[in-house]
Structure 1
Amino acid sequence: MKKNLIVFVALLAAVAVALPAFAVDFKYGGVMRVRWISNDNMADGLDGDDDNNNLFDQRARLYFDFVGSENLKVVTKFELGDITWGAGDTGDVGADGKDVEIKNLYLDFNIPNTPINAKLGVQGIVAMKGWIADDDFSAAVFTMPFEPVKLTLGYIAAQNEDATDESENVDDFFIQVDYANGPFSGTLIGFYQYAHDALEVGQFEGATGFGQALDNSLFDLGVALGYKADMFDVNVNFVKNFGSYDLAGGGSGDYTGWAAEAIANVYVNNFTFTLGGFYTTGDDDDDNDVDYFIYPYKSGSHYWAELMGLGVLDKFGPSANDGYSAGDVPSNLYTVYAGVAWQALEATKLSFAYYYIGTAEDVESEPGKMDDSVGSEIDFRLTQKVVDGLTLDVVGAYLFADDAYSTNDQDDDAYEVGARLQWSF
């Protein structure tokens, strides 16, 4: 692997030297992070079990753009890691790892004599702040700006593992309209995922399948509204699941779930006060319909609280109760939260947040009993600028667990602490 990486870096250097002869600019950058993470009771919610982690890890992302003109460029992003220090699966005591990934590789160009920009290849796509999509995809995206409106059309190849069998495909199509004028902003998006016969019922992001589905279609309609003034801003997001499927053994069902989120920030001197929350539906009956909020397959990723929502220390997520989904794909879950951030010094920021977390529909809290209260989470974060763009984040989170946190007779509290050094260059 060392030899391959040296050859790769040498090739990039040779290309950079030769580029002026071809009138091509070369731009580069990246992000490097090193973290310490320690947590307890995030998997099963029991103090007596061996459910804790304590480790260091690191990751680097390298960005290289080859720019022919303002109308044409190739964008590449590579990821080196994640490497857990001392882990044998990455080589000798965490060294000599073989984990090099292509995050992005796409052609970005403007179509002549039109206002259309095209991006073709593996690229990052974000839809509705991760309530629909936030990941890297094999995709074709076309953007047309008509100020103050921007229109985006896209296709995502979510799955094509068997090129000879179309029934195994998962194909995504979306159309998005963005509006921005003065303090007002808005987004309207329609996201259609046709899973053919490839998935089980409900086997989308954050859900577990339960039976083979045929002609499996999911359509998300999303609306986002925002208003930003000097002293405050308000944002509202809403996504509704539509679509249907046929069961292999007969019968059919519909996707009926929805998610809603509202966030308000107030700015007073060096303080930012935040009040917000979200609600995602759960299943309320035993029919064939999927009533819980569902995410397109391999697409959703909405980060929120530190411990329950995969915050800065996102290596481990909660998995204490399969009646709801937390992490970055919340479903059958709601939260109400309040927070304050203080810019104490030019280089120092302190943040505190409180979350109350519950389930939309009751889940199993212990054998034979149901409940809807997951608990209360408290998050603390110190952000310190160190030197030349290097930032230190120190994070602590504690969950006061209630009965719905796990399916055990006893629900013990969970915590997570750690730190991250990160340099964006």
Structure 2
Amino acid sequence: MEQRQRFALNYKGENVGAVGLFEIDFTNWGDSAYTAGRNQGAGLEADSINLETKNFYLWFNVPNTSVKVAAGLQNQTDSFGGMIFGYADMAGVFVTGKMDPVSYKLGFAKFQEGTSVKDDDVDLYVAEAKFTPTKDTRVGVDLYIIRDASGGTAAGSGTFGTNLNTIGRLGADYPVQLGATSFTYQPSNFYYLGVDGAVKAGPVGLSGFAFYNFGTVELPVGTLNGSVLDNTDKDVKAWAVDLRADADLGPGKAFIEGAYVSGTGDNDSDFKSPVTAGNYALAGSFALTSMDMQILLNSLDDINASAA
């Protein structure tokens, strides 16, 4: 039997506060004891080092404004159903504010700090603006940028020290027979430009989003799924769209939702699947949870070790 428990420390003043969120979970009751590591320690006598830090950040309001600043290790989700970074814990600074009828978010996060002082990090930049002319209508414009300079050295093992080599989503979508994957690349930028929105009229509501992911994997050298990369840039040309309808039906509710995400075809020479935070961490992208599926897509009810 699996077990997961989270607990929070939350200090909240009038204009300043701090949050700490921690987690302990076990893969199985009786799995191990006297050990150090996550997802274990429920064996007889236990006594293991297995406390995980999920969030640890400070927030404050700028006096006499609507601006709020949060700095530290915190949870963030994009406006595209969590497809780029969904319910992901990241260290950074995020600023939110409102100038009716417009609200906004600006932010920066460090996905990965390289091992040297040179340009070898993975960073995220966020800019969102939401226009809300009425309480039942919202239109948003969103821009995200992933700056990946981690490709100059071999990727680490496990779930950290990763780059496009390791998690393998790009490799799995590439149109070649599966084989060895080991390549380096120069600092690369991946851009995400899109819109999101929602409107409600009486018992019926519509919501959705669309985005285009573009950029370039700069000068990759090595092998990708057994295919030789010849030091030629590979473009990223990916997109996705989602539309959902909700309805209040008497005492119940119903919804229908459809989504399309582009993929790489057999004859494509470029990457046509989105690059996401899931390329850099196992649960960095937690997408389309609104569909309430348990097998085909991610579910917020999936609270076991598979959801990090």
With normalisation by structure 1, the TM-score equals: 0.57
Measured at CA, do residues 94 and 273 of structure 1 come closer, stay the same or move farther in structure 2, by a change above 3 Å? Answer: farther
Q: Which residue of 1 aligns with 2:61?
A: 110
Measured at CA, do residues 72 and 156 of structure 1 come closer, stay the same or move farther in structure 2, by a change above 3 Å? Answer: same
1:243 counterpart = 2:215: yes
1:127 counterpart = 2:78: yes
Matches within 5 A, 1:140-155: 140-155=93-108
Give % identity: 21
Structure 1: gaps (5+ residues): 1-55, 318-326, 329-425
Cα deviation digits, residues 223-242 of structure 1 (max 9, x gap): 11111233111111112111
- CA-CA distance at 1:206 after TM superposition: 4.1
Task: Give the conservation status (yes or no) of the 8 Å contact 1:202–1:290.
Answer: no
Matches within 5 A, 1:366-381: none
Measured at CA, do residues 205 and 194 of structure 1 come closer, stay the same or move farther in structure 2, by a change above 3 Å? Answer: farther
263-272 or 196-205: which moved more?
196-205
Determine the C-alpha separation between the residues in 2 that align with 1:202 and 1:245: 12
Cα deviation digits, residues 271-325 of structure 1 (max 9, x gap): 22221111111112445410123313443211342112133345487xxxxxxxx
Structure 1 counterpart of 2:50, which letter? Answer: D
1:222 counterpart = 2:194: yes
Cα deviation digits, residues 234-260 of structure 1 (max 9, x gap): 111112111112224421021101111
Determine the C-alpha separation between the residues in 1 that align with 2:296 and 2:143: 28
1:306 counterpart = 2:294: yes
Measured at CA, do residues 124 and 316 of structure 1 come closer, stay the same or move farther in structure 2, by a change above 3 Å? Answer: closer
Q: Which residue of 2 aligns with 1:279?
A: 260
Structure 2 counterpart of 1:269, which letter? Answer: G
> Secondary structure of 1:130's match?
coil
Q: Decide which of 113, 119, 123 is 1:160's aligned counterpart.
A: 113
Matches within 5 A, 1:249-264: 249=221, 250-264=231-245
Determine the C-alpha separation between the residues in 1 that align with 2:246 and 2:264: 32
Cα deviation digits, residues 325-377 of structure 1 (max 9, x gap): xx99xxxxxxxxxxxxxxxxxxxxxxxxxxxxxxxxxxxxxxxxxxxxxxxxx
> Secondary structure of 2:271's match?
coil
Determine the C-alpha separation between the residues in 1 that align with 2:126 and 2:58: 20
> Secondary structure of 1:257's match?
strand
Q: Which residue of 1 aligns with 2:4?
A: 59
Measured at CA, do residues 313 and 77 of structure 1 come closer, stay the same or move farther in structure 2, by a change above 3 Å? Answer: closer
Matches within 5 A, 1:140-219: 140-162=93-115, 164-180=116-132, 181-198=134-151, 206-208=169-171, 210=181, 211-219=183-191
> Secondary structure of 1:251's match?
coil
Structure 2 counterpart of 1:142, which letter? Answer: V
- CA-CA distance at 1:110 after TM superposition: 1.4
With normalisation by structure 2, the TM-score equals: 0.76
Tell me the number of residue pairs that the alignment of Structure 1 and Structure 2 aligns. Answer: 262
Structure 2: gaps (5+ residues): 33-39, 152-161, 173-180, 222-230
Determine the C-alpha separation between the residues in 2 that align with 1:202 and 1:191: 22
Determine the C-alpha separation between the residues in 2 that align with 1:187 and 1:237: 9
- Which protein is richer in strand relative to its size? 1
Measured at CA, do residues 265 and 202 of structure 1 come closer, stay the same or move farther in structure 2, by a change above 3 Å? Answer: farther
Task: Give the conservation status (yes or no) of the 8 Å contact 1:86–1:92.
Answer: yes
Determine the C-alpha separation between the residues in 2 that align with 1:248 and 1:103: 34
Task: Give the conservation status (yes or no) of the 8 Å contact 2:91–2:110.
Answer: yes
Measured at CA, do residues 231 and 107 of structure 1 come closer, stay the same or move farther in structure 2, by a change above 3 Å? Answer: same
- CA-CA distance at 1:60 after TM superposition: 1.3
Bigger Rg, structure 1 or 2: 1
